Amino acid sequence: MLVACALAAVLAAGAAVAEPTLPPAAAEALERARVPRDAFAVVVHEVGRGRELLEVNGTQPMNPASLVKLLTTASALEMLGPAWQWTTPVWLQGTLRDGVLDGSLVIRGSGDPSLVVERLWLLLRQVQQRGVREIRGDIVLDASAFELPPGSPADFDGQPLRPYNVRASALLFSHHAVTYGFVPDPAAGVARVTVEPELARTAVQRTVPLAPGPCDDWAARLEARFEPGTTRFLGRYPAACGTLAWPVADPEPATYNARLIEALWASMGGRLGGRAREGSAPSVPPTFEWRSPPLAAVVRDINKFSNNVMAQQLFLTLALQRDPGRAATPDAARQVLARWVAGALASDAAGSELPGGAVLDNGSGLSRTQRLSARQLATVLMRAFDAPTMPELLASLPVAGQDGTMRRARVAEGRAHLKTGSLDDVVAVAGFVRSDSGRRYVLVALVQHERAQAARPALDALIDWVARDAPAR
């Protein structure tokens, strides 16, 4: 905490330890991208010494895009602990005799973002291990722990079928998405279509004619029609593409959980007399509780792959854990996160209001209104580095040239742990860089401009400059 306080004092005093000018390579990359200097903000600070190497436009509020996930995950690790787990209560409601449950199976969600099909299979396997082979009633699904305002997956960018736009749910099975695989069969002149997971009451066209020519814009050439209950492909699949996969958000998310669990239960040999439906869990203790992986493992998936859906689940979970007796709302989650950020910035926050023009909207970064400055993000990272949960947060960040969203980076390979952020008009990085001398630096860089995507080389140049111990400019 002493390190974070020292940084906050230096930043608050506005001390400029180095000239507020960019390294030449970064400045030249910005110029080539035709991005003005006032659209670029950066703070570089050495960890443990209170020494600031560089600050340019550090107090300017900008859209941080997915860098907000750093706040969501760092706060959750501190408030809940790395070993914390989501619990999903399960009830066998009724009389069980000779493998027949004369009643219903009830599952109540608490926001677990890891209920992918493999883990849902294991949950149902626990039901079968308790002797259930047939459910004469229904499978009742309770998602009342989250309370979201009306909305649509298309609200952010008009792309409702993009998996990153899936809305949060207290009971989120397999991220409400389907992955279609395309496997060429040249002898038959078709590509075989695989589906994961299979959904009940959903018809999928299982072959697509092959097409000659290069593998370019193959998804558009399929002329896919993703409709409630039906998936069709009116075009053709280029044979040159080989085997590829296409993840798609299901067009009918309201019934996704029911269709998935019905199909999965049947595939396991289970029989269902009724149907899967929404409903309320009983007030009596559950038969058993299904537990998620530890929070540290979930945070790793969120940050390594910048998973928006999982980040939103965690964001709302902060509110649910603060007040377990009340349904979590986005407003309540914003207040919890704002208080934690205010503590990191050594300021007082009222509701979702923060100093310096900062605005918190959600936990994932899919927002047009969210604003943070590079200085604020650097302060939060210094606080996080000084926290007991630093190892878990650091391990969750993509490693340059090795994994996650930084796997293709060709600067500071293996020595930079950096979260990335990207929107149409935003590119950003933030995290920690280990230099040639063994020093470690906090680096935050933000670009917000209509040509932001062209400015990526400027970020690479900046990372390289820090990794080489900031040679003279």
Provide the sign of the torsion angle of the four alpha carbons 463, 464, 468, 470, taken in this order.
negative
188-219 tens-digit pLDDT: 999 999 999 999 999 999 999 999 999 999 99
Q: How confident is the model at residue 412 (pLDDT cuts 50, 70, 90)?
A: very high
Looking at residue 13, what is its pLDDT? Answer: 44
Contacts of 448 (CB under 8 A, 6+ apart): 39, 62, 63, 425, 426
CA distance 108 to 139: 11
User: Which pLDDT tens digit goes with each residue over 28-57?
Assistant: 999 999 999 999 999 999 998 778 899 999
* Position 397, amino acid: L
Decide if pLDDT at 19 tops 90. Answer: no
What value does the mean pLDDT of the chain take? 94
- Rounded CA-CA distance 105/126 in Å is 12
Q: How far apart are CA 54 and CA 11, in angstroms?
A: 11
Structure tokens, 180: 């279609």
Please report the beta strands in 80-126, taking only residues with DSSP state E, as ranges in sequence order: 87-97, 100-108
Report the interhelical angle of 330-344 vs 308-322 (nearest 10°).
Answer: 90
432-447 burial string, b = 16+ CB within 10 Å, else e?
A: bbbbeeebbbbbbbbb
In angstroms, the CA 212 to CA 236 distance is: 9
CA 303 – CA 54 distance, rounded (Å): 25
Look up residue 62 and give its DSSP letter.
Answer: B
Q: What is the pLDDT of residues 273-306, one digit of tens each?
A: 999 999 999 999 999 999 999 999 999 999 999 9
Nearest CA to 242 among 180, 183, 181? 183
Cβ atoms within 10 Å, residue 283: 5
- pLDDT value at position 21? 86
Span 215-265, pLDDT tens digits: 999 999 999 999 999 999 999 999 999 999 999 999 999 999 999 999 999
Residues of each domain in the chain carrying CATH 3.40.710.10: 2-83+295-467
> Exposed, middle or buried, 333 (CB in 10 Å: 0-12/13-18/19+)?
buried
Between 424 and 470, the higher pLDDT residue: 424
Look at residue 16 in the predicted model and tell me its pLDDT.
Answer: 41
Q: Which long-range contacts (CB under 8 A, 24 or more apart) does 410-417 make?
A: 410/460, 411/460, 411/463, 411/464, 411/467, 412/463, 412/464, 412/466, 412/467, 415/467, 416/443, 416/463, 416/467
Q: Say how far apart CA 7 and CA 1 lie, in whole Å.
A: 10
Average pLDDT value for residue range 309-320? 98
**Comparing 144 with 13, which gets the higher pLDDT?**
144
Is the pLDDT confidence value at 408 over 60? yes
Mean pLDDT of 174-191: 98
- pLDDT computed for residue 18 by the predictor: 43
Q: Output the pLDDT for position 356.
A: 87
Whether the predicted pLDDT of 354 surpasses 90: no
Tens of pLDDT, residues 418-453 = 999 999 999 999 999 999 999 999 999 999 999 999
Whether the Cβ atoms of residue 61 and residue 372 lie closer than 8 Å to each other: yes
Distance CA 247, CA 272 (A): 29
CB 302 within 8 A of CB 293: no
Give the torsion sign (CA, 394, 400, 401, 405).
positive
Nearest to 84 by CA among 340, 352, 354, 297: 297
Q: Write down the CATH number for the domain with range 2-83+295-467.
A: 3.40.710.10
Q: What percent of the chain has pLDDT over 70?
A: 94
Rg of the chain over Cα atoms, rounded to whole angstroms, equals 25
| Extended beta strands in 253-396, E state | 271-272, 276-278, 288-291
What pLDDT is recorded for position 54?
96
Identify whether the C-beta of residue 274 lies closer than 8 Å to the C-beta of residue 138: yes
Q: Which two tokens stand for residue 81?
A: 């602990």
C-alpha to C-alpha distance for 406 and 2, rounded to whole angstroms: 30
The pLDDT value recorded for residue 59 is: 96
How confident is the model over 103-126, as a mean pLDDT?
Answer: 98
